[in-house]
Amino acid sequence: MNRKIYKRIARMYGVDTREVKNEITSAIKLAYINPSKEALAIPRKGTAPSPDELVKFATTFMKTYTEIEAMHDTSKMLPARAHSHRYKH
């Protein structure tokens, strides 16, 4: 899955996947000089996450957030009249 994400980002910016991974690594190093509590919540094996660990965390987070938002999206609920058969006299 991460390879697809790296390839897609690389295509968007006209670079190769190595450059994408290197840029993510640089951003992680910078963020972990003085990490926030949110950054420290990212599961990782070392003191900072690898690019793959960060991408996995981000995609899982976004998927979960999207699912929660969909559950609360009232536009996807049935209209009240769809349930009106229950209340006929």
pTM: 0.71
Predicted confidence pLDDT, tens digits, the chain (89 residues):
789 999 999 999 999 999 999 999 999 999 999 999 999 999 999 999 999 999 999 999 888 888 887 777 666 555 555 555 555 54
In a domain, 25, yes or no: yes
In a domain, 52, yes or no: yes
In a domain, 88, yes or no: no
In a domain, 58, yes or no: yes
In a domain, 23, yes or no: yes
Domain that holds residue 53: 2-71
Q: Three-state SS for 6?
A: helix
Angle at 12 between CA 14 and CA 61, to 5 degrees: 135
Distance CA 59, CA 9 (A): 14
**Which long-range CB contacts under 8 A does 49-53 form with residues at least 24 apart?**
50/25, 51/2, 51/21, 51/24, 51/25, 52/2
Distance CA 50, CA 41 (A): 14
Distance CA 16, CA 2 (A): 14
In a domain, 60, yes or no: yes
In a domain, 9, yes or no: yes
In a domain, 46, yes or no: yes
**Number of domains present in the structure of the chain:** 1
